Amino acid sequence: MSKYAFLLAFAIVAVLACNRVNAISEIPAVGAAAPAFNLTSNEGKAVNLADYKGKWVVLYFYPKDFTSGCTLQARNFQKDLAKYDAANAVILGVSVDTAESHKEFCAKEGLNFKLLSDTDAKVSDQYGSIMEYNGAKLSARNTFIIDPQGKVAKVYPKVKVAGHSDEVLAALAELQKS
């Protein structure tokens, strides 16, 4: 192996290792049963994945209410809400914020979909969507499309906010064809 090939291989391994430092658990695989959950919504009500059997679920994890990237992501899902309704899909957002924070965030941004409170980060962890930031656990920005039978149909790790809702809608259309 040449010196440059060795250095390149070493650099790739180092980058991969660094990217895993903040990840705590593994993301569920496509085709696996989506982990069940019972979380409190911005409306103060319990929400279970089983409540949505027979519907497509777009389950998105995000770090924090009222931050720029999370606000843009939520606004984009809200803008496309009628398209999700037409595709027999619901949007559920999850973060470690409280249900009260979610209620205020929904009111401020005019969000008409549920945000779920995962204050102990257990569900975020089950979905491999947890990270540590300055010693605190936050939900990592990952999105899952769950089919009407409750299986993971598509996974978007490390989501880039711009254009994400369009990307999810296109994937839903493709998944619903098969």
pLDDT tens-place string over residues 43-88: 999 999 999 999 999 999 999 999 999 999 999 999 999 999 999 9
Domains in the chain (CATH in brackets) are 26-177 (3.40.30.10)
The CA-CA-CA angle for residues 44, 112, 28, to 5°, reads 75
Q: Active-site residue among 70, 87, 106, 172?
A: 70
pTM confidence score = 0.85
Residue 42 has pLDDT above 80, yes or no: yes
Q: List the beta strands (DSSP E) in the chain.
A: 38-41, 46-48, 56-61, 89-95, 114-117, 130-133, 136-139, 143-146, 152-156
Q: What residues contact residue 103 under an 8 Å CB cut-off, 6+ apart?
A: 42, 43, 44
48, β-bridge pairs: 38
Count each helix (H run) and each strand (E run) in the chain, helices first. Answer: 6, 9
pLDDT for res 25: 75
pLDDT for res 86: 97
User: Is position 70 annotated as part of the catalytic site?
Assistant: yes
Residue 2 has pLDDT above 60, yes or no: no
Which alpha helices (DSSP H) does 53-153 contain, by range?
A: 68-79, 81-86, 99-109, 122-126
